[in-house]
Structure 1
Amino acid sequence: MFMVYSPEGQSFIGAAQNLPVLKVDPAKRINRVEDTELGGVKVDVKGSNSSQKKEALNAYKKNQQNSGERRVIVRVAEIMSTPVISVQSNASLENAWALMQKHNIKHLPVLDVDSLVGICSQTDLLARMLVDRDGQIEGVKRETVAQVMHPQVITTTAETEIRHVAQVLTEFDVDSLVILNDYQKLLGIVTEKDLITRLAQEPPIEIYT
């Protein structure tokens, strides 16, 4: 499921299974059982010989194996970054920028002690500072992370399918999701880059389940 965290409280925005089903060209769907090898196997239930039964069973197993190979389901837990680099809400913009530069990241979940209160991106920081080509700060506003962060954070769980993560990133025009555990504590983060990296790997991900 997906939740929005904000100062006003948690807001449920949907479960992965309730999101729109992705459609695929019918030509690429898995063949129905009657269209596979089973269609050519006739089994006499009353008196068929053992070879016919074995042939039918093997055809069924083959069809199941092929179907299984095409149904690649990837969970957030497989691609998220963990442990997560985070920043405290009272930290300075310089400190937040230094963390991003050190760990080569563009998003920082913002915590108040250990509770999630927002998220800060590289874009948020660059809107309030000047940096040179080497990433060194030349000028910065005297503000804290709490003053520039986005207080509404879309979150999900490690068991969510990454297809649904892609849908949420697109629908809400964000490029990262924070992952929380069962105790609502920070567990990981997944970004558009993580999704693209997985799409480029084998086995390929089908767009249906």
Structure 2
Amino acid sequence: MVADPESFILANTSLMAPPHVPEIRLRLASEVHDLWLKTEEDLEEIGLPPPFWAFAWAGGQGLARYILDHPETVAGKSVVDFASGSGLVAIAAALAGAKSVLAVDIDPWARTAVRLNAKANGVSVDFSGDDLIGQSLDVDLVLAGDVFYDRDFAAALVEWFTGLSAGGVTVLVGDPGRSYRPTDRLEPLATYEVPVTRVLEDAEVKKTTVWKFR
């Protein structure tokens, strides 16, 4: 039985740079299937949620790239990185000069992953494990990478993002063409060719667009 999330993460990941965001270093898994199995075995819990925090997904890489290339997007602003996972997008926002950054993810292991990754990049990122969907937020900007992969989840996000946008919050999403992306509600800002792990995706490069929710 693993002693704690930090010990597990340090033992089963390596500090490396995502290919599309070489300025940032993250604790990432090099072997996808092996980590899936080891996570279940070490926690003695078959069916444990996949360790999404251990991979740099295409949507997050694209969104992080956009923020680093356009720091004025976040500079001096309060930012929430929704479904943060590894904390990649949150870290990019902090590096680009955001006033405050809150990484949000309901996976309890993401808390440790974000803390370790923020420390490795010399930035400060707060964390919340609360389910914020449907709640009003007193922030300037919400960032979300790779969130439109499930029909019901996407529907809930569209309703939530609509309300946030109507209230004056800017919502930016990074998406590599997931099935339930609400394209009719999105304004494209930039498109990238993002290298990804073939085992995770159906290609070695994913065309990824950063969108503004409208």
TM tier, shorter chain?
A: under 0.3
TM-score, normalisation: structure 2: 0.23
TM-score, normalisation: structure 1: 0.23
Choose between structure 1 and 2 for higher RCO, CA contacts under 8 A separated by at least 6 residues. 1
User: Which structure has the greater CA radius of gyration?
Assistant: 1
